[in-house]
């Protein structure tokens, strides 16, 4: 662990207030550069085959294969990240998503949105139940499409939050990130993707963690049996509800989130 209990408590408090928290320089850059190299060929192949989920002009959502270097427990079982996830979304969470969002040149501003509706209609102030852990595979600058988010809207009624945003009462904050930085966020916060004005793709990995009892049918991770067998106890526990599959190349079209966006 890199952080003390007191520091993790402090991160959790920031998360509760803002709906997000940033851990700077947390993941190893050389690991992420290897991910980047592997991702670049996946991106090229998927673009050629037209097998991405389009999330706006020149903006692609791509599921990563849970195999090889992407099935890395140092990343998805990171003890500091999980300690914060557990503080805000309860013990024994599940991991349900491993994917990427990549704006390319020609991408545009997304409409401001949330990634999931409230758990109960009319009771938006519930504790967190669905988190995204995001980390980029490059530096994210003002030029290449920084994630923009409002702060503190994750527990607001969706209509109230949107009204306040439209009235100019809720500023959007661009979140520049360095390779190695990690953002943990509640997907209910109002946010949007912004244009990438460079020639270099800006891949942002998203790992989804849910409260122990929460099931999201729109996402899943196909876990090859041989990969599963090689994982430690914590990793297996996180993936307990994910389908086990025989082949490692079953990703294409396997996840309904590719056809789905809130």
Ligand X SMILES: O=C(O)CCC(=O)C(=O)O
CA angle at 47 for the pair 43 and 53, rounded to the nearest 5°: 90
**38, HSE (Cβ side, Cα atoms, 13 Å):** 18
Q: Is 114 in the site for ligand X (CB under 6 A)?
A: no
> CA-CA distances (angstroms) from residue 223 to 54, 65, 73, 157, 256?
24, 9, 13, 36, 16
Q: Is 147 in the site for ligand X (CB under 6 A)?
A: yes
Q: How far is the CB of 226 from ligand X (least distance, A)?
A: 32
Q: Is 216 in the site for ligand X (CB under 6 A)?
A: no
Among 124, 193, 195, 208, binds ligand X (CB under 6 A): 193
Contact 239, 42 (CB under 8 A): no
Q: How far is the CB of 71 from ligand X (least distance, A)?
A: 23
Distance CA 70, CA 218 (A): 21
Among 191, 196, 211, 224, binds ligand X (CB under 6 A): 191
Site for ligand X in 87-106 (CB under 6 A): 101
- All residues at 6 or more sequence positions from 7 whose CB lies less than 8 Å from its CB, including other chains: none
Based on CB atoms, which residue is closest to ligand X, 26 or 113? Answer: 113
Q: Which residues bind ligand X (CB under 6 A)?
A: 55, 101, 110, 115, 147, 191, 193, 204
């Amino acid at each position: 662990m890199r952080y003390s209990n007191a520091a993790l408590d402090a991160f959790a408090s920031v998360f509760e207030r803002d709906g997000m928290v940033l851990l700077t320089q947390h993941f190893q850059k050389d690991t992420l550069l290897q991910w980047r190299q592997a991702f670049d060929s996946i991106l090229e192949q998927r673009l050629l085959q037209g097998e991405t989920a389009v999330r706006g002009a020149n903006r692609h959502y791509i599921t990563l294969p849970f195999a090889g270097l992407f099935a890395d427990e140092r990343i998805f079982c990171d003890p500091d990240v999980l300690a914060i996830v557990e503080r805000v979304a309860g013990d024994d969470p599940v991991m349900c998503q491993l994917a990427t969002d990549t704006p390319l040149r020609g991408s545009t501003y997304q409409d401001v949105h949330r990634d999931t509706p409230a758990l109960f209609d009319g009771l938006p102030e519930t504790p967190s139940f669905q988190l995204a852990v995001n980390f980029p595979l490059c530096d994210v600058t003002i030029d290449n499409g920084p994630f923009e988010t409002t702060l503190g809207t994750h527990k607001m009624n969706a209509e109230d939050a949107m009204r306040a945003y439209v009235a100019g009462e809720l500023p959007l904050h661009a979140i520049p990130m360095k390779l190695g930085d990690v953002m943990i966020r509640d997907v209910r916060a109002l946010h949007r993707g912004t244009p990438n004005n460079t020639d270099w793709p800006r891949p942002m990995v998203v790992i989804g963690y849910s409260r122990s009892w929460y099931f999201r049918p729109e996402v899943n991770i196909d876990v090859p049996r041989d990969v599963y067998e090689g994982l430690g106890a914590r990793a297996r526990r996180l993936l307990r509800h994910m389908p086990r599959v025989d082949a490692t190349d079953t990703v294409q079209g396997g996840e309904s989130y590719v056809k789905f966006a809130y």
